Homo-oligomer: A and B are copies of this chain.
């Protein structure tokens, strides 16, 4: 489970489309499609309900993953922001 996989998953959920998700994360649709499959394989449970093609709906596990994924990505952002600020301060030597 890597950050890029989580970004791709969250993008796919929020955009409701592999194509738009791919644009958001600066990848091509095949890259996203394959990465999502790999993620599902790693955790051993499907995240999307692919029974019906027209419906792009999450499974229970998918909803759980979405909650955790957004939190993880948010905290990474917080972490980078905190360090970025420390960098600023150190550069000014204040």
Contact = CB atoms under 8 A, between A and B. Distances in A.
Copies of this chain present? 2
Interface residues of A, number: 25
B75 A87 contact: no
Q: Is the interface of A mostly helix, strand, loop or mixed?
A: helix
A21 B65 CA distance: 30
Contacts of A3: 1-3
Contacts of A69: 79
29 contacts: A1-B3, A1-B76, A1-B79, A1-B80, A43-B80, A43-B83, A43-B84, A44-B83, A44-B84, A45-B83, A45-B86, A45-B87, A45-B90, A60-B86, A61-B83, A61-B86, A61-B87, A61-B90, A64-B82, A64-B86, A65-B83, A68-B75, A68-B78, A68-B79, A68-B82, A71-B75, A72-B75, A72-B79, A75-B75
